[in-house]
Amino acid sequence: MKKFLIRTVISLGIGALMLWLAAREISFDGVWGALKAANWLYVLPYLGLMAVQHIFRAWRWGFLLAPVQPVPFSRILPISSVGFFAILALPLRMGEFVRPYLIADPPKLRMSHGLGTMAVERVFDGLILALGAWVAVAIAETRTTVPEWVEAAGFIALVVFLTALVVLVMTLWQRERAVLICRRLVGIISPKLAERAAGIARGVVEGFRVLPDWRRLLPFLFGTAAYWVGNAAAIWVLAKGFDLNMTFGAATAFIALVGIGIMIPAGPGFVGNYEFFAKGAMGLYIQKHVSESVAAAFIVTSHATNALWYIGAGLVAMLSPEITFKKVWTVSTSSEQLDDVSPSGEQPTQTSAPPPPSTGTPAANTDA
């Protein structure tokens, strides 16, 4: 609990700094006036598009899990909903551990397998966002002056995620060597923990097994594209309620930069990160005659409705019999003590090296 409180304080400090940078020149009376003048009927199609992208976001995970252990979509959806809610609600993105913990079903599907699949998911998400931000900045530079920090954010993200993709591929190719390196590095600090770390590392690497399996990787990439297009469409629709005349390309740029921003570990709800990067994105394409108050009102609304969607979806998913608040709280506050167990506390058995990935269709599709 002490570590959790320390992380919370740190995250709130980061978020507060970013929120101050984003809002220090904003008229709050003007923002309130813009909120009252908005057409709130556009929230309804926005929420509909959020539901669509949410389904695609959960559905694609099944293709990453399938090479290790097929999981039905009826189980993936509630676990994903709770996991996304936890990422939003907890500081420093501590909720990232919730999905792999809840999906674990040892000995075939371990928490470390889930972490491996999430690494693949994050890398491809990051590449899409980084490429989107890079293109957005390149186009915006022909029309206006782009802040240096916006340009740097897109470039740094592109380098980071391209490097991460290379690391994933190399690790999968040399999996036993990667596990050996992990064992030796941890052994320097604690020989007792070396074998445990090696076992977790092996499970994480097994989570990468979708990479050479094109029959599963391609549907995952389709689901990823649909997820991000759905996000951009939702923003594009919501902007009409504020008469922003935002193009779909501008909405895509908005999503790309905000997506990069909220990947930075900070406070609960991405407060601060979202506003700071959204303000930078709005400056690229939104016309100069649009007041800062209207732009700020749109940012606040998009953030609040996004958060309310994930909170609502997560709370509904908590009604699932295999998900309890206690389990979510345990993994969120004590993830370093969980090692590689399932929510029921079952320890995995030792398994031999995984067989080559099959090319069948994952069971995740049967319930979709």
- pLDDT of res. 177: 87
C-alpha span between 180 and 125 (Å, rounded): 29
Q: Per residue in 329-358, pLDDT tens? A: 777 666 554 555 555 544 444 444 444 444
pLDDT value of position 350? 43
pLDDT of residue 307: 95
C-alpha to C-alpha distance for 235 and 294, rounded to whole angstroms: 15
Residue 184 token pair: 């030796």
Looking at residue 161, what is its pLDDT? 93
pTM for the model stands at 0.84
d(CA 298, CA 40): 11
Query: Going by C-beta distance under 8 Å and a sequence separation of 6 or more, which residues neighbour residue 291?
Result: 30, 34
% of the chain residues with pLDDT over 90: 50
Give the contacts of 86 (CB within 8 A, at least 6 positions apart).
94, 95, 98, 314, 328, 332
Mean pLDDT, the chain, integer: 86
Mean pLDDT per 10-residue run, the chain (368 residues)? 78 89 87 95 96 97 95 95 92 87 89 92 95 89 85 91 90 86 86 81 88 93 97 96 90 94 88 93 74 91 96 93 79 58 50 44 42
pLDDT given for residue 351 in this prediction:
42
> Would you kindly state where each structural domain of the chain is located, as residue ranges?
30-339
Coil, strand or helix: which one is 18?
A: helix
Strand-pairing partners, residue 335, are none
Q: Are 104 and 225 in contact (CB under 8 A)?
A: no
What pLDDT does residue 366 have?
41
State residue 361's pLDDT score: 43
The reported pLDDT for the residue numbered 365 is: 42
pLDDT of residue 364: 42
